[in-house]
């Protein structure tokens, strides 16, 4: 009768990789359930048996029950949704197959063990399957305890064999699959570890990123271990060849690798980050970089009637949307994509609106957007904020030209632009979408370094309407 399920990471197949904790756990298991995947990977089965033979004391009786693994369809041509569905169905079928065996355990067999290749936390479904089993028994009134014992994973062994750390100082590590690599690769990810790569996806990065450093390892921890290290473009053919020979010999290949941008390479391609700034103020209005704490200002500026009237989609922001947007502001700033500010009343510190600059189009050009909360309209706040931000952008942030635009009819927005020193440059036909599917012309303005912002008073009479915050070019 089942009482406990143990998920035990056994490392890469060498009994020497099994931790002391895992060794002790192995000696408590009455029945190991192992997926029988056919004989394609019989080397793995042999490695697993070697671990049990080497580490379980001779006087401890246990049995190994092979459970036929439900078949999974081919992954290659599936889209992501079909892939997820396929994996979920496969897990459900596994749960059923294991439950049949567990229900048939002898009276004295109370502890079931699952042996997991490497560590159960890395691309392995055993923990999810065991959770489902525990839930299934709980629903039937049977309490089953379970625990997870860590093992040495393939990325750890890869790093150890190459004698490297997986991360650079204080930097993140991105772990992904070969299936996803080409879609998501960007040098800004930093160090990228790739697992489950049947097709050596990194070969397709060699053209665009020849200088990436590659540390590759196959059959790690086994007598057939293979290591290759070098500049991606230089070693990719060697890896291809070694891989093909190994596949020929074994019928399968298990490899993992690390891709690292070369030392001294810019952290990411694209524009430089916007410079850090203290709050900017003229004594009446203060603008400071937007933070996650400002999400209510972003939501309220977007969701009032006037703003929605000039919006592209006319859809209110949910709290979650506003939170996500403000949380992303810091990263956008550092990536040089957008410098978003919150406008506040200098005296009370209360949020009054939003203003920002998106870097887009030719280098040195920024697109400005702004919007003020109804309670602060007609007080010259937006003009003041626009002057502060424009001065910063042209003098401190390295931009040479600022642009902004508003939908024809949103005249108050144009008055703000003009008072802040922007010059009207023309009318762009049908540039801006409306919520009803039609499109509006846009009145376009610019301000360049050579023609600095006006310094006169910011009289009342400024927009009752926003020109659109920084994620819409104009409103
Ligand atoms: C289903 S995942 C299991 C990972 C495992 N749980 C771990 O902790 O490493 C299988 C992938 O792990 C990597 N892998 C597993 N064993 C390996 C080995 N001996 N050498 C190199 N890579 C290995 C390969 O990327 C393989 O596609």
- How far is Cα 258 from Cα 161, in angstroms, rounded to an integer? 12
Residues 385 and 294 in one domain: yes
* Best mutation site among 117, 200, 216 for ligand 1 pocket (most ligand atoms within 8 Å of CB): 117
- 317: domain range? 280-448
Residues 290 and 439 in one domain: yes
Question: Is 255's C-beta closer than 6 angstroms to any atom of ligand 1?
Answer: yes
Q: Which atom, in ligand 1's list, is nearest to the CA of 158?
A: 21
Judge whether 273 lies within some domain. no
Residues 6 or more apart whose Cβ sits within 8 Å of residue 42: none
Is 463 part of any domain?
no
Q: What is the CATH number of the domain that holds 125?
A: 3.40.1010.10
Q: How far is the CA of 142 from the centre of ligand 1 (A)?
A: 34
The CATH number of residue 441's host domain is 3.40.630.30
- DSSP string for residues in 168-218: -TT--EEEEEHHHHHHH--GGG-EEEEES-TT-GGGGGTTT-TT-EEEEEE
Domain check: are 144 and 164 in the same one?
A: no
* Residue 25, domain member (yes or no): yes
Residue 457 lies in a domain: no
In a shared domain, residues 288 and 255:
no
What pLDDT is stored for residue 461 in this prediction? Answer: 44
Ligand 1 closest atom vs CA 198: 27
Ligand 1 near 469 CB (within 6 A) = no
Nearest atom in ligand 1 to 120's CA: 6
421 and 326 within one domain: yes
- Give the CB-side neighbour count of residue 160, counting CA atoms within 13 A: 11
Pocket lining: 221 vs ligand 1, CB cutoff 6 Å: yes
Looking at the DSSP bridge assignments, the partners of residue 9 are 116
Ordered mean pLDDT values, 10 residues apiece, the chain (475 residues)? 95 91 97 77 76 93 87 62 75 90 93 96 95 95 97 97 94 94 89 96 93 96 93 97 91 93 71 93 97 95 93 93 91 91 97 95 94 94 97 96 95 94 96 95 94 54 49 40
Q: Which of 260, 295, 317 is the last residue of a domain?
A: 260
Q: In this structure, is residue 160 part of a structural domain?
A: yes
Count of structural domains, the chain: 3
Q: Is 252 in the pocket of ligand 1 (CB under 6 A)?
A: no
For residue 249, the model assigns a pLDDT of: 87
Answer yes or no: is 78 within a domain: yes
Q: Which atom belonging to ligand 1 lies closest to the Cα atom of 155?
A: 9
Q: Measure 57 CA to ligand 1 centroid, in angstroms.
A: 28
Residues 170 and 148 in one domain: no
Model-level pTM? Answer: 0.71
Shared domain for 416 and 305, answered yes or no, is yes
* Mutation pick for ligand 1 pocket among 18, 90, 118, 242 (CB with most ligand atoms within 8 Å): 118
What beta strand segments (E) does 37-169 contain?
63-68, 111-116, 145-149
CA of 195 to the centre of ligand 1 (A): 6
Q: Which atom of ligand 1 is nearest to the CA of 221?
A: 19
Beta bridge partners of 112: 5, 31
Pair (165, 132) in one structural domain: no
Out of 152, 171, 196, a domain closes at: 152
Q: Is 294 in the pocket of ligand 1 (CB under 6 A)?
A: no
DSSP 41-73: THHHHHHHHHHHHHHS-TTS--EEEEEEPPP--
Q: Calculate how far, in angstroms, residue 317's C-alpha sits from the geometric centre of ligand 1.
A: 43
Mutate to test the pocket of ligand 1, among 195, 218, 223, 224 (most ligand atoms within 8 A of CB): 195
Same domain, 137 and 186: no
- Let me know whether 135 and 185 are in one domain: no
SS3 164: coil
- Mutate which of 256, 257, 258, 259 for ligand 1? The one with the most ligand atoms within 8 Å of its CB, which is 256
| 119 Cβ inside 6 Å of ligand 1 | yes
Sorted by sequence, the CB contacts under 8 Å of residue 399 that are 6+ apart come out as 357, 359, 364, 365, 366, 393, 449
What does the alpha-carbon distance between residue 444 and residue 428 come to, in Å, rounded to a whole number? 7
CA of 44 relative to ligand 1 center, distance in Å: 11
Q: Is 254 in the pocket of ligand 1 (CB under 6 A)?
A: yes
CA of 87 to the centre of ligand 1 (A): 18
Q: Tell me which of 107, 129, 152 is where a domain ends.
A: 152
DSSP characters for 238-267?
HHHHHHHHHHHHHS---EEEEEEPPTTS-S
**Which residue's C-alpha comes closest to atom 22 of ligand 1?**
255
**Same domain for 250 and 201:** yes
Sheet containing 213-218: which strands, arranged edge to edge? 173-177, 191-195, 255-260, 213-218, 226-231
Instruction: Let me know if residue 270 belongs to a domain.
Output: no
**Ligand 1 contacts CB of residue 195 (under 6 A):** yes
In a domain, 467, yes or no: no
Nearest ligand 1 atom, CA 151: 8
- CATH classification at residue 184: 3.30.950.10
Answer yes or no: is the C-beta of 218 below 6 A from any ligand 1 atom. Answer: yes
What is the CA(224)–ligand 1 centre distance, in A? Answer: 14
Residue 327 and residue 443 in one domain: yes
User: Ligand 1 centre and the CA of 307: distance in Å?
Assistant: 52
């Amino acid at each position: 009768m089942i009482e406990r399920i143990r998920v035990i990471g056994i490392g890469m197949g060498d009994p020497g990789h099994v931790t002391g904790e895992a060794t002790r756990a192995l000696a408590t298991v009455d029945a190991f359930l192992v997926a029988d995947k056919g004989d394609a990977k019989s080397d793995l089965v042999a490695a697993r048996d070697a671990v049990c033979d080497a580490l379980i004391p001779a006087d401890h009786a246990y049995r190994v029950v092979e459970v036929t693994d439900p078949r999974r369809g081919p992954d290659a041509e599936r889209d992501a949704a079909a892939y997820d569905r396929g994996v979920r169905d496969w897990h459900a079928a596994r749960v059923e197959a294991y439950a049949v065996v567990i229900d048939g355990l002898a009276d004295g067999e109370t502890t079931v063990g699952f042996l997991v290749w490497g560590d159960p936390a890395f691309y392995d479904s055993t923990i999810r399957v065991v959770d489902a089993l525990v839930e299934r028994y709980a629903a039937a009134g049977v309490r089953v305890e379970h625990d997870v014992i860590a093992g040495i994973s393939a990325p750890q062994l890869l790093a150890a064999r190459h004698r490297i750390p997986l991360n650079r100082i204080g930097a993140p590590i991105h772990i992904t699959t070969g299936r996803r690599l080409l879609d998501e690769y960007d040098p800004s990810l930093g160090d990228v570890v790739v697992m489950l790569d049947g097709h050596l996806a990194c070969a397709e990065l060699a053209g665009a990123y020849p200088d990436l450093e590659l540390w590759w390892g196959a059959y790690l921890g086994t007598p057939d271990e293979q290591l290759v290290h070098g500049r991606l473009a230089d070693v990719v053919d060697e890896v291809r060849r070694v891989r093909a020979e190994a596949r020929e010999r074994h019928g399968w290949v298990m490899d993992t690798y690390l891709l690292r941008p070369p030392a001294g390479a810019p952290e990411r391609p694209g524009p430089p980050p916007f410079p850090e700034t203290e709050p900017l103020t003229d004594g009446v209005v203060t603008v400071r970089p937007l933070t996650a704490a400002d999400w209510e200002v972003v939501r309220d500026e977007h969701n009032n009637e006037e703003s929605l009237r000039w919006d592209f989609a006319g859809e209110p922001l949910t709290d979650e949307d506003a939170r996500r947007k403000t949380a992303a502001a810091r990263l956008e700033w550092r990536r040089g994509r957008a410098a978003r500010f919150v406008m506040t009343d200098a005296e009370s510190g209360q949020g009054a609106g939003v203003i920002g600059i998106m870097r887009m189009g030719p280098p040195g050009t920024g697109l400005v957007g702004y919007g003020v909360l109804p309670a602060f309209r007609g007080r010259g706040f937006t003009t003041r904020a626009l002057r502060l931000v424009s001065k910063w952008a042209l003098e401190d942030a390295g931009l040479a030209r600022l642009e902004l635009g508003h939908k024809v009819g949103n005249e108050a927005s144009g008055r703000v632009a003009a008072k802040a020193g922007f010059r009207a440059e023309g009318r762009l036909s049908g540039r801006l979408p409306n919520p009803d599917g039609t499109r509006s012309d846009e009145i376009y303005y610019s301000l360049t370094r050579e023609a600095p912002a006006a310094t006169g008073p910011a009289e009342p009479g400024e927009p009752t309407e926003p020109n659109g915050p920084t994620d819409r070019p104009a409103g």
